[in-house]
């Protein structure tokens, strides 16, 4: 009989950290293959790993390479994902096909959470999570990231959700699913490129230790599922709200015109917004993921201190 470990390759660096119960931070790979252009994506991927090390934790970038789940990627793996040829976008439901057929895929928030949990990693840094799309009342387009957050025990550090989504409905859905939405030094839920959204988090949290205490409490009580940790983009990197909003409007109307459906919707909107806003959005995007990697590492350090006793 095959066990789940037979499907997974863990890098030496990550394996070492797991064996010593040292803090680890998971990173997704869709952000590399579908989220940023080459070569900014590979440079950012490597930089995020270094930021995590500099903050006292071990980075574990996750993907499926030739049908193997990989936790901790080599520079060749990262290069392959960054060039993005024949790289599938893998959410929960894509996992069995991509693995069984020996293909290569980049993991979304949902699938990165699944693999992080299998490997025993509890903190994960990304840019933005998926959510409820605008017009979901007719399209039913709601990201599988939300149902994953309801059941998989991983804390996801993000800069909120992009306003390609309906932020209010996304927060309502997270409430229904019982997912805590916590803000780092903020009462307002951030909207990725900017610090504001007009919507609020459940609790404002002041320190990485407080986050770690909340995670420990949740999982000690067997309340399954993850947590959204919303970390606003640093002020100096905030993008121009009007430019972003008009790009998003145009991207959504082009998606409708072109009848984009299913898993293509998010990558289509992201690349249109990128195209329409040029360097402005890319620079903000890189700055916010760096900020998230640092906070995630600090939370992982506190969480492993709390749980080693």
Tokens of 125: 């840094």
Question: 74 with 9: CB under 8 angstroms?
Answer: no
Stretch binding ligand PSU (CB under 6 A), from 15-23, 69-77, 122-130, 202-210: 122-130
Stretch binding Mn ion (CB under 5 A), from 135-143, 160-168, 186-194, 202-210: 135-143
Q: What are phi and psi of 36, to 5 degrees?
A: -140, 155
If binding is defined by CB under 5 A, does position 166 make contact with Mn ion? no
> Looking at the chain, how many residues does it have?
309
Distance, CA of 121 to CA of 304 (rounded, Å): 10
Stretch binding ligand PSU (CB under 6 A), from 23-31, 65-73, 194-202, 250-258: 23-31
Q: Which of 191, 173, 162 is nearest to 265 (CA)?
A: 162
If binding is defined by CB under 6 A, does position 30 make contact with ligand PSU? yes
Q: Residue 23 or 160: which CB sits closer to Mn ion?
A: 160
Question: 255 with 268: CB under 8 angstroms?
Answer: yes
Which DSSP state fits 237? G
Question: 157 with 121: CB under 8 angstroms?
Answer: no
Q: Which H/E stretch holds residue 110?
A: helix 109-119
Least gap, CB of 133 to Mn ion (angstroms): 6
- From 49, 89, 148, 162, active-site residue: 162
User: 162 catalytic, yes or no?
Assistant: yes
Distance, CA of 56 to CA of 294 (rounded, Å): 9
Residues 264-293, mask of contacts with ligand PSU (x by CB under 6 A)? --x---x-----------------------
If binding is defined by CB under 6 A, does position 294 make contact with ligand PSU? no
Provide the terminal-to-terminal Cα distance of the chain, rounded to the nearest Å: 35
Question: 116 with 154: CB under 8 angstroms?
Answer: yes
Which DSSP state fits 11? -
Least gap, CB of 212 to ligand PSU (angstroms): 24
Among 162, 173, 218, 274, binds ligand PSU (CB under 6 A): 162
Dihedral angle, C-alpha 144, 295, 216, 5, nearest 10 ° = 60
Q: What number of chain residues touch ligand PSU (CB under 6 A)?
A: 19
Helix, strand, coil shares of the chain, percent, nearest 5, are 50, 15, 30
Within 10 A of 99 (CB to CB), how many other CB atoms are there? 17
Contact set for ligand PSU, span 181-240 (CB under 6 A):
192
Least gap, CB of 308 to ligand PSU (angstroms): 30
Contact set for ligand PSU, span 45-84 (CB under 6 A):
none
Least gap, CB of 210 to ligand PSU (angstroms): 26
Q: Which of 33, 58, 57 is nearest to 45 (CA)?
A: 33
User: 272 catalytic, yes or no?
Assistant: no
Among 28, 77, 94, 141, binds Mn ion (CB under 5 A): 141
Stretch binding ligand PSU (CB under 6 A), from 30-38, 94-102, 114-122, 205-213: 30-38
Interface contacts to Mn ion, rule CB under 5 A: 141
Interface contacts to ligand PSU, rule CB under 6 A: 28, 30-31, 35, 91, 108-109, 127-130, 143-145, 162, 192, 263, 266, 270
Supply the residues annotated as catalytic: 28, 162
């Amino acid at each position: 009989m095959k066990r789940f470990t037979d499907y997974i390759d863990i890098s030496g660096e990550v394996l070492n950290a797991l064996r010593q119960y040292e803090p680890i931070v998971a990173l997704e790979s869709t952000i590399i293959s579908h989220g940023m252009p080459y070569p900014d994506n590979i440079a950012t991927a490597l930089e995020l790993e270094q930021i995590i090390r500099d903050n006292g934790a071990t980075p574990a970038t996750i993907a499926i390479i030739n049908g193997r789940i990989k936790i901790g990627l080599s520079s060749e793996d990262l290069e392959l994902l960054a060039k993005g040829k024949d790289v599938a976008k893998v959410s929960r439901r894509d996992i069995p096909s991509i693995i069984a057929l020996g293909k290569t895929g980049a993991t979304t928030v949902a699938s990165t959470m699944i693999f992080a949990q299998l490997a025993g990693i509890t903190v994960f840094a990304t840019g933005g999570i998926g959510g409820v799309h605008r017009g979901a009342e007719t399209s039913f387009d709601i990201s599988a990231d939300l149902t994953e957050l309801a059941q998989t025990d991983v804390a996801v550090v993000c800069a909120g959700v992009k306003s390609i989504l309906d932020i209010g409905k996304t927060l309502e859905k997270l409430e229904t699913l019982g997912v805590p939405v916590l803000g780092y030094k903020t009462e307002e839920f951030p909207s990725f490129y900017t610090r504001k959204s007009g919507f609020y988090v459940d609790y404002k949290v002041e320190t990485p230790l407080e986050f770690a205490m909340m995670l420990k409490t949740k999982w000690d009580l067997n309340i399954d599922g993850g947590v959204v940790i919303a970390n606003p983009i640093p002020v100096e990197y905030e993008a121009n709200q009007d430019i972003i909003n008009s790009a998003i409007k145009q991207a959504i109307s082009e998606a409708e015109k072109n009848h984009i459906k299913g898993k293509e919707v998010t990558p289509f909107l992201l690349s249109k917004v990128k195209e329409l806003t040029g360097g402005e959005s890319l620079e903000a995007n890189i700055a916010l993921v760096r900020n998230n990697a640092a906070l995630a590492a600090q939370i992982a350090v506190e969480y492993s201190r709390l749980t080693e006793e």
